[in-house]
Amino acid sequence: MIQIPYVEPVFRPPSEAYSLILQVTIGCSWNNCTFCEMYTQPQKRFRFKPIEKIEQELAAIVAQGLPVRRIFLADGDAMTLSFRRLKLIMQAINRYLPGIQRVSSYCLPRNLKNKTVAELAELNEMGLSLFYVGCESGDDLVLERVNKGETFDSSLAALQKIKAAGAKSSVMILNGMGGRKYSEQHAVNSARLMSAAQPEFLSTLVVSFPAGVARYQQGFGGEFEALDQAGLFQEMYWLLDNLELDKTVFRSDHASNYLVLKGSLGRDKPRLLKTVRAALEQPGSVRLRQEWMRGL
């Protein structure tokens, strides 16, 4: 096993389960979304890891001779690093692991504001080719309520930049995020954002509050009413129904989801809508994930 001195806990997308996790930053540079508790512990105070330390870790990995094909750059938004620093990291990765196939990272839309398409294309050439973007919603009011610090326009601009650079994006949208009051507008505007951006991958997670809902409620002035299962399915129906995607891999199979959905959109839209309608109209006819199996 590779021994790397991680600052725990470390999070990664489910699809990076077999990747080497290279922690090039600690924590999240924003750390203000009211639903997210991932980087709130004191040891996760945001900072960069010095390039010399990253090189030492790469050298230790190479010394163990284990095959590394994919790397995920942790923690919460490694793309906040400057182009200069990211280029140094990618140069080091290519030097130590010349066979590397893909490097990916979480990415906030604002991380790309000061990076040009040419810079992103250069990083893409070096292997940094997939960005996990937590858009969470395409609805400006919901984004404001949860203090995401992003908008429909800022999210779209970032996704378009990624595409223009020849890289890929994998977007996360949070089911239930607007509560009952904003459920429909959250779904419709999230679909509008995705249709405009045409990401290569789209996944939905159900918003949950392992540390309690109090902080989240503040943003909603105490009016947040969590969706029950039927409400979550109805919102998913609105989302799918409004999506106009050409070729996006869609996954709603994260452990937080009750209803597992997978397909390619637009091709599988009728099938997925049928499944959600069945879950809504004939409870018991579609297998759901049990509460005890759910998690973040």
Ligand X SMILES: C[S@@+](CC[C@H](N)C(=O)[O-])C[C@H]1O[C@@H](n2cnc3c(N)ncnc32)[C@H](O)[C@@H]1O
Examine residue 194 and tell whether it contacts ligand X (CB under 6 A): no
Residues 190/164, Cβ–Cβ less than 8 Å: no
Closest CB to ligand SF4 among 13 and 76?
A: 76
Tell me whether residue 39 or residue 96 sits nearer to ligand X (CB atom): 39
Stretch that binds ligand X, among 80-88, 200-208, 228-236, 281-289 (CB under 6 A): 200-208
Tell me the pairing of strands 128-136 and 102-106: parallel
Phi, psi at residue 158, to the nearest 5°? -65, -45
Residue 158 sits in the site that holds ligand SF4 (CB under 6 A): no
- Applying CB under 6 A, does 207 fall inside the site for ligand X? yes
**Residue closest to ligand X, measured at CB:** 134
Structure tokens at 273: 């809508």
Q: Which of 38, 126, 288, 296 binds ligand SF4 (CB under 6 A)?
A: 38
Q: Which stretch binds ligand X (CB under 6 A): 46-54, 112-120, 133-141, 227-235?
A: 133-141
Other Cβ atoms closer than 10 A to 255: 13
Exposed/middle/buried for 11, CB within 10 Å: 0-12, 13-18, 19+?
A: middle
Provide Rg for the chain, Cα atoms: 19
The residue assigned the tokens 């106009």 is 244
8 Å CB contact between 105 and 142: no
Binds ligand SF4 (CB under 6 A): choice among 20, 26, 33, 240: 33
Residue 36 is a binding residue for ligand SF4 (CB under 6 A)? yes
- Sites of contact with ligand SF4 (CB under 6 A): 28, 30-33, 36, 38-39, 76-77, 108, 134
